[in-house]
Amino acid sequence: MKRAFAILNLAVAAALTLPGGVVFAQTRAEVLLGDLARPENEGWRRTERQLIEEWSKSGSAALDLLLKRGRDALAEGDYDKAIGHLTALTDHAPEFAEGYNLRASAYFRSGRYGPAVADLQRALELNPQNFVALAGIGAILEETGQKAKALQAYRAALAIHPRQDDVKKAAQRLDDALSGQKI
């Protein structure tokens, strides 16, 4: 995995190098994703938090306030209120992936799997590296009995962020179940 990222980084750097040696800088999220995947990164929890914070920046104070209100309502267990705030956010910022990702959590926790899946798909269209959304897809697929697809989603999440203990356990549980081993 480390070698694959090194090769990818070289390819990206080569592609982004202009004549004269000028190189476009990686975004902060790209750097954090690379750090998160490094096996020797003992500070991965901090990296994970920083990455999620980076993904949570909408570029607008008003939209950030809607995101915060949605998060707060979700933490309080008021899923309808969270969905309301996050719907306002996604209506005003349809290209902001974290609004969809968080609203999917509210839908999922309220038992509305269809809208949760739709929001997770949109979040992943906007941010394909969102390991939280991939794990969410896995959880819904597992909950609805689609074990093989759930395992694929969990593995995709782990390919981006290999230290997610809950996702590792879920993937192992499904791998054991699908291979016919007793759980």
State how far the Cα of 45 lies from the Cα of 165, in Å rounded to an integer. Answer: 12
Domain match, 68 and 86 both: yes
Asked if residue 183 has pLDDT above 90, the reply is no
Please say whether the beta carbons of 79 and 110 come within 8 A: yes
Q: What is the average per-residue pLDDT within 106-135? A: 97
Structure tokens at 175: 């791998």
Residue found by looking up tokens 């901090």 in the block: 46
Nearest to 149 by CA among 126, 129, 178, 176: 178
Beta bridge partners of 27: none
Q: Is residue 43 part of a domain?
A: no
Q: Are 100 and 88 found together in one domain?
A: yes
DSSP string computed for 87-128: HHHHHH-TT-HHHHHHHHHHHHHTT-HHHHHHHHHHHHHH-T
Least confident of 4-8, 34-38, 54-58: 4-8
Q: Are residues 93 and 144 in the same domain?
A: no
The answer to whether residue 156 is domain-embedded is yes
pLDDT at 45: 93
Confidence of residue 178 (pLDDT cuts 50, 70, 90): very high
Residue type at position 4 = A
Question: What does the pLDDT look like over 40-92, one tens digit per residue?
Answer: 889 999 999 999 999 999 999 999 999 999 999 999 999 999 999 999 999 99
Instruction: Tell me, yes or no, whether 118 and 77 share the same domain.
Output: yes
The gap between the terminal CA atoms of the chain, to the nearest Å, is 29
Residue 181: per-residue pLDDT: 54
Would you place residue 26 in the very low, low, confident or very high pLDDT band (cuts 50, 70, 90)? Answer: confident
| Domain range enclosing 144 | 129-175
Beta strands in 19-177 (DSSP E): none
Q: What is the CATH number of the domain that holds 102?
A: 1.25.40.10
- Average pLDDT of the chain to the nearest whole number: 87
pLDDT beyond 60 at 23: no
pLDDT at 4 over 50: no
Mean pLDDT over 98-114 rounds to 97
* 99 and 137 together in one domain: no
Task: From 157, 155, 120, 168, select the one nearest 33 (Cα to Cα).
Answer: 157
% of the chain with per-residue pLDDT over 90:
80
The answer on 141 and 111 residing in a single domain is no
Total domains present in the chain: 2
